[in-house]
């Protein structure tokens, strides 16, 4: 979660390269081709929503697209005409400056530490969005005429920040480009959505996730990468999260118990509950909860077309577990009892959902 200089970054996983440092993008060829065709086609939208599940390459694409536009500012050039992807060579001066966060024509709106605070804010400060309006887009045209603003990600904006973003996309200066990363584009302001082109990003296959992990600097061996990919539900970010000697076995164990539901082996569940109890197991508990919610999300998506009677029990148990988990942590309640109740509730909800 920190840059090389030690500055914390909310959008970086510990031990993993930041999206601005990635040269490759796997599994999103359709999105890349659509953007490239629009750029050289003469009808290039000034604002794009990069929409799709978390951890599938949206931020990586945003920096990749920014590098391409800044490196090739003339969409009618022969380099753009011959391009088959948005790749820019690693040693290209534009790519080097983007990696170093030193390109004056690229502005990134994201959560970041301020000089007077010791913790990472949970929202993007509205002042940062306004700074993009007054300072970045209010200045003269950037290098090559393009100015690019990446918003990563839109769900971190509060109401004031979203309205400030709307003002930017409503009244864009010439030759500006907005790349708005969104995990839930349907929840963005309708007025923002109406002024942007939506570029959809899909979940990745296990093979694609494995390829990303193995190809990364310091990545895992292929066998471990496959195990992590099988638990990642299409998200490279989720795969990276489980890749350590302690986390991966926990996730695999909990996933196995969830897959057996509504049948419950209470001896096994008691062992899990014992392993998650106590403040010394905070990280394991957080991992376990992430695994449960990820599995619930998969169950809900799998029943999306089966009607409310099948979806309602899953939504209700999701809300109950989330509420009880918050209370358990806030009031330091017994995690062991919480885990036992969780499996009982999940089993009951799954039986009702399947019967519906």
Query: Whose CA is closest to 339, among 350, 347, 232?
Result: 347
Tokens representing 247 are 């986390």
Q: Are 71 and 94 in contact (CB under 8 A)?
A: yes
Tokens representing 18 are 């930041």
Cβ atoms within 10 Å of 271's Cβ, excluding its own? 13
Query: Whose CA is closest to 313, among 263, 273, 352?
Result: 352
Over its C-alpha atoms, the chain yields an Rg (Å, rounded) of 22
pLDDT at 111: 86
**293 burial level (CB within 10 Å; 0-12, 13-18, 19+):** middle
- The SS3 of residue 319 is helix
Token look-up 């991992």 returns 287
Q: How many angstroms separate the CA atoms of 115 and 117, rounded?
A: 6
* Per-residue pLDDT tens over the stretch 295-347: 998 898 888 888 888 999 999 999 999 999 999 999 999 999 999 999 999 99
Q: Are 95 and 88 in contact (CB under 8 A)?
A: yes
Helical ranges in the chain per DSSP H: 29-40, 58-71, 78-82, 93-99, 126-131, 159-170, 190-193, 206-215, 222-230, 236-241, 247-259, 266-276, 282-302, 308-330, 335-355
pLDDT at 217: 83
Cβ atoms within 10 Å of 44's Cβ, excluding its own? 16
* Per-residue pLDDT tens over the stretch 189-220: 999 999 999 999 999 999 999 999 999 888 89
Domain boundaries of the chain, sorted by first residue: 19-200, 244-355
* Per-residue pLDDT tens over the stretch 59-114: 999 999 999 999 999 999 999 999 999 999 999 999 999 999 999 999 999 988 76
Q: What are phi and psi of 66, to 5 degrees?
A: -60, -45
Domain 19-200 class in CATH? alpha beta
pLDDT at 114: 67
Residues 6+ apart with CB under 8 A from 276: 284, 285, 288, 335, 336, 339
């Amino acid at each position: 979660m920190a840059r090389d200089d030690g500055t914390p970054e909310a959008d970086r996983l510990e031990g993993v390269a930041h999206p601005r440092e990635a040269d490759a993008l796997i599994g999103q060829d359709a999105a890349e081709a659509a953007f490239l065709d629009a750029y050289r086609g003469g009808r290039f939208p000034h604002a794009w929503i990069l929409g799709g599940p978390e951890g599938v390459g949206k931020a990586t694409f945003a920096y990749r697209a920014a590098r391409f536009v800044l490196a090739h500012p003339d969409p009618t050039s022969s380099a753009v005409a011959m391009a088959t992807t948005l790749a820019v060579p690693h040693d290209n001066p534009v790519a080097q400056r983007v990696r170093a966060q030193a390109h004056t024509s690229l502005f990134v709106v994201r959560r970041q530490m301020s000089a007077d605070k010791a913790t990472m804010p949970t929202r993007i400060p509205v002042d940062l969005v306004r700074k993009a309006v007054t300072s970045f887009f209010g200045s003269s045209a950037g290098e090559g005429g393009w100015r690019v603003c990446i918003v990563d990600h839109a769900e971190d904006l509060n109401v004031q920040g979203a309205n400030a973003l709307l003002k930017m996309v409503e009244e864009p200066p010439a030759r500006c480009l907005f790349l708005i990363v969104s995990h839930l584009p349907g929840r963005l302001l309708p007025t923002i959505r109406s002024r942007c082109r939506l570029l959809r990003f899909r979940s990745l296959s296990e093979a694609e996730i494995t390829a990303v992990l193995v190809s990364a600097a310091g990545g895992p061996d292929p066998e471990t990468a496959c195990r992590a990919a099988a638990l990642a539900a299409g998200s490279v970010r989720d795969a990276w999260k489980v890749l350590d000697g302690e986390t991966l076995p926990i996730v695999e164990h909990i996933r196995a118990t969830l897959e057996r539901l509504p049948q419950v082996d209470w001896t096994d569940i008691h062992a899990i509950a014992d392993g998650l109890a106590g403040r010394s197991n905070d990280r394991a508990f957080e991992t376990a909860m992430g695994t449960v919610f990820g599995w619930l999300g998969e169950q809900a998506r799998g029943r999306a077309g089966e009607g409310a009677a099948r979806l309602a029990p899953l939504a209700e148990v999701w809300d109950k577990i989330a509420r009880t988990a918050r209370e358990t942590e806030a009031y330091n309640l017994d995690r062991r009892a919480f885990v036992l109740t969780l499996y009982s509730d999940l089993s009951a909800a799954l039986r009702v959902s399947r019967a519906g």
